[in-house]
């Protein structure tokens, strides 16, 4: 079994890195697990524990999907949290609504459902995780920091490909390995 997911690799620009650094420095005494910038990605579909013999079927489906999609741009222009301002769980950067992205994700969900991968119960919320929050002492200061970056142009991303990754969990955090790449037209 392999723990798999499909994602777009993101190379953070300076504005993205500055936000990441600002939060890390301002909340270094809090219990937050920060995502390493080298593994920044936009998850399109989490497949979870997958039989290795399914990888070939997944690969065939994802290759077919690329035939119907051109490359496109995404705009990173928001910041937010999952959870509530009283109990934040994840801090993330948001992606502006994109019909191209929504159509790609729908095609992935629909086609993978034909081989037994159920559609996610929740709506797809495109985001780039900055950190996973266990505890924050000063939630008001945290919210004020978030408000500084709300609705700001952060980064434009040219999406020319996506990838099938394996995730191996370690005590120090997950390690990601690219298994396959899928080039858009």
**Model pTM above 0.75:** yes
Is the model's pLDDT at 172 over the cut of 80?
Answer: no
Residue burial 96-128, b: 16+ Cβ < 10 Å; e: rest:
eebeebeebbebbbebbeeeebeeeeeebebbb
Q: Cα-Cα-Cα-Cα dihedral of 96, 59, 62, 161, to 10°?
A: 50
For the 2-183 domain, the top CATH level (class) is alpha beta
Q: Read off the pLDDT band of 6 (50, 70, 90).
A: very high
> Which tens digits make up the pLDDT trace of 114-161?
999 988 777 889 999 999 999 999 999 999 999 998 888 999 999 999
Q: Read off the pLDDT band of 85 (50, 70, 90).
A: confident
- Cα gap 31→54, rounded to integer Å: 38
> If you average pLDDT over every residue of the chain, what do you get?
94
- Domain ranges in the chain? 2-183
Q: Which residues belong to the active site?
A: 41, 127
Is the model's pLDDT at 30 over the cut of 80?
Answer: yes
């Amino acid at each position: 079994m392999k723990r798999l997911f499909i994602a777009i690799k993101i190379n953070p620009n300076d504005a993205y890195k500055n936000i990441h650094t600002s939060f890390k420095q301002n909340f270094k005494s809090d219990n937050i697990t920060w995502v390493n910038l080298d593994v920044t990605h936009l998850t399109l579909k989490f497949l979870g524990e997958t039989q290795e013999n399914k990888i070939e079927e997944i690969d065939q489906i994802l290759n077919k999907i690329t035939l119907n999609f051109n490359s496109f741009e995404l705009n990173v222009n928001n910041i937010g949290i999952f959870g509530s301002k009283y109990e934040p769980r994840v801090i993330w950067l948001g992606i502006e609504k994109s019909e191209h992205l929504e159509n790609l994700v729908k095609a992935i969900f629909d086609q993978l459902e034909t081989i037994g991968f159920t559609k996610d119960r929740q709506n797809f919320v495109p985001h780039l995780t900055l950190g996973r929050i266990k505890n924050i002492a000063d939630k008001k200061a945290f919210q004020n920091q978030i408000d500084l970056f709300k609705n700001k142009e952060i980064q434009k991303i040219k999406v020319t490909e996506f990838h099938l990754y394996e995730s191996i969990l370690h005590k120090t955090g997950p390690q990601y390995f690219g298994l396959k790449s899928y080039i858009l037209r």
